[in-house]
Copies of this chain bind each other. A is one copy, B any other.
Amino acid sequence: MASSPSLAGRAASAAQTKGLGRYFPFTRWLFNYRREDLPSDLVAGIVTAIMLIPQSMAYAQLAGLPPQIGLYASVVPLIIYALLGTSGQLSVGPVAITSLLVFSGVSTLADPGSARYIQLVLLLALMVGVVKLLLGLFRMGVILNFISHPVLAAFTTASALIIAAGQLKYILGYSIAGPHIYDILYNAVVGLGMTNPVTLTIGGASIAMLLFFRKKLRPILQKAGLNPLAVTLIVSGAPLVTVLLGSIVTWALRLDLTAGVAVVGSIPAGLSPLSWPSPNVADAQALMPAAAAIILVSVVESIAVAKALASKRRAVIDPNQELIALGAANIAAGLFSGYPVTGGFARSVVNYQAGAITGLASLVTAGGIALILLFFTPLFYFLPQAVLAATVIVAVFGLVDLKEPAHIAQANRSDAVTWGITFAAVLLLGIEAGIFVGVGVSLALYLWRTSRPHIAVVGQIGESEVYRNILRYDVKTWPHVVAVRVDESLYFANTRYLEDELLRIIAERPEVKHLVLIGSAINFIDSSALHTLEALIQSLRDAGVQLHLAEIKGPVMDGLKRAHFVDKLGTEHIHLSTHQAMRALGCA
């Protein structure tokens, strides 16, 4: 493959990929690995590992799990994804929103951190994995398209706020209860007197450091003339530096004993142990909403990131194969003591910027985490939980986008309503219920819109064959013929509305003898609509008006013929174009 093939060539080659390469994408890069890609993949793998070490522990804490579970989730699942995924840049592992969904779904069934809690999380990972795998194998990825942009945008922003609020307890150093964000904020304010000043100082300093690294460090380093790769390396290493600094200070001053600073404590050394989530019908049923929410959100986000990065590299990804790869990675998470994983946005961008070309980068990342697990876990004994919380808070800052609803409202008011309802539902009802409310609202608004279609009376533009809305264009009309364009497919939800509108149009034009229904925007006619049209032929005839059809599309016409509607209407009442219909009726 050339280094920059044409889009056409790429799409064609992806479409033609068959056999081994299709189901085991690693065979496409591993067996013809190009030596010159090695340094780039190596560096990217190491950079991503450095970023993933604090993230995986912090997100595990967010999910109500001990830190090693986050590290376990960053080894075997990454290897599996590297072998089966079609993106060389996607960085799979723990991510913030999935971690929150795990916490909200499982913490109602067991105490966070308990053995039963971990068992349930493993089962959840297995469920998520199996469903994703099946969706991919049966090429059903299309059903994930039912999560719309406004729903995802509102969900992400609201979840980020919930995540940040949930971390307050680690920063302030006292327990803050409450399933909902308003409980959390209320209890946080009520308990302010219990604040641990040392913990707050560590947390606040960490947030300040991380924000500085994130916002200011890159321009400074760039001005200093460092090469871009070094800049990326230093910037992505910043959270790890913060973590190590926090640990050293805490250890040096023994703040865990002298000031009651909560620390991570001992992390067992050794690679991810095998696990077997004992499947149990009642547990699986209880976990189903959480699994559905995780699948919806994580897959959409992850495939969108992979697509965007692929497009920058002029490569294509196969969404169904991505589902298979993410499914297998989650099954691996369930079997190797991890928890649900997916492709993270920020980490994937870093992986891409650091030069990841093939799945080898992910294999290197997994190797890095494995080394930490084998030899360096004691390093994190004195890591304050407040530093991990700071990592989470700064990471989710970037997810809060309060300008997006304004952008959405410009394009489409009902999408802005969807944004608002989803946002409110996530904050007030919780994130699982929120996502389902959002999906439900966007579907309901779509159905509502199609049930009241736009119906335009049209006339001829000049002497052309173009017919447009009489309310928008200066057009020619004739008294004895009215041409009406219905801007929607005819189906059960809008046929009665159509009937009422057509009768109203006729009622307003007593001289009309012919009604031409223009089907250029009618993509199908279901049997309910057919019933209505048959009744309409008769009621129009009773009123001395003949029904005509024009610009009916091929597949729609096939259906009308099969159902003998054409016989009932008469073939002389069917016209190829509006212009031909008008000429046949003595106009134009």
A interface residues, Cβ below 8 angstroms from B: 6-12, 15, 142, 145-151, 308, 311, 314, 316, 319, 407-408, 410-412, 414-415, 442-443, 446-447, 449-454, 464-466, 468-469, 472, 487-489, 491-497, 503-504, 506-510, 520-528, 530-531, 535, 539-540, 542-545, 553-555, 559, 562-565, 576-577, 579
Contact = CB atoms under 8 A, between A and B. Distances in A.
Query: Main secondary structure on chain A at its contact with chain B?
Result: helix
Contact of A145 (B11, B494, B520): B494
B146 A559 contact: no
15 contacts: A6-B510, A7-B507, A8-B506, A12-B508, A142-B451, A142-B496, A145-B496, A148-B528, A149-B528, A149-B531, A415-B528, A443-B447, A446-B493, A468-B554, A488-B489
Contacts of A449: 524
A80 B122 CA distance: 62
B526 A6 contact: no
Given A503-B7, A507-B15, A412 B149 contact: no
Contacts of A496: 142, 145, 319
A175 to B, nearest CB: 36
A7 B504 contact: no
B503 A11 contact: yes
Nearest to A146: B493
Residue among A491, A528, A577 with the highest chain B CB neighbour number at 10 A? A528
A523 B526 contact: no
Contact of A447 (B146, B528, B577): B146
A526 B150 CA distance: 10
Contact of A543 (B7, B497, B544): B7
A507 B472 contact: no
Given A8-B508, A449-B524, 18 more contacts: A7-B503, A7-B539, A7-B543, A8-B543, A10-B507, A11-B504, A142-B452, A146-B451, A148-B526, A148-B527, A149-B526, A149-B528, A151-B492, A314-B542, A412-B527, A415-B526, A446-B493, A521-B523
A507 B522 CA distance: 28
B488 A523 contact: yes
A521 B524 contact: no
A527 B408 contact: yes
B145 A527 contact: no
Contacts of A579: 465
A520 B523 contact: no
Nearest to A499: B307
A57 B362 CA distance: 76
A412 B555 contact: no
A447 B504 CA distance: 29
A566 to B, nearest CB: 12
B543 A442 contact: no
A526 B412 contact: yes
Contact of A149 (B492, B543, B562): B492
B539 A311 contact: yes
Residue among A8, A148, A414, A487 with the highest chain B CB neighbour number at 10 A? A8
B527 A149 contact: yes
B311 A527 contact: no
A407 B564 CA distance: 10
B145 A411 contact: no
A491 B9 CA distance: 28
Residue among A9, A447, A491 with the highest chain B CB neighbour number at 10 A? A491
A7 to B, nearest CB: 3
A562 B416 CA distance: 14
A579 B461 CA distance: 14
B11 A506 contact: yes
A507 B12 contact: yes
B530 A487 contact: no
B562 A410 contact: yes
A544 B150 contact: no
A10 B542 CA distance: 12
A145 B469 contact: no
A206 to B, nearest CB: 35
Contacts of A319: 496
A416 B504 CA distance: 32
Residue among A316, A410, A465, A526 with the highest chain B CB neighbour number at 10 A? A526
A142 to B, nearest CB: 6
Nearest to A520: B520
Contacts of A527: 148-150, 407-408, 411-412, 415
B497 A142 contact: yes
A494 B148 CA distance: 10
A145 B508 CA distance: 25
A300 to B, nearest CB: 10
Given A487-B553, A543-B8, A492 B563 contact: no
Contacts of A8: 506-510, 543
Contacts of A506: 7-8, 11
A412 B447 CA distance: 20
A314 B540 CA distance: 11
A451 B145 contact: yes
Nearest to A524: B449
A418 to B, nearest CB: 9
Given A145-B494, A149-B492, A487-B523, A466 B469 contact: no
Contacts of A543: 6-8
A558 to B, nearest CB: 10
A563 B530 contact: no
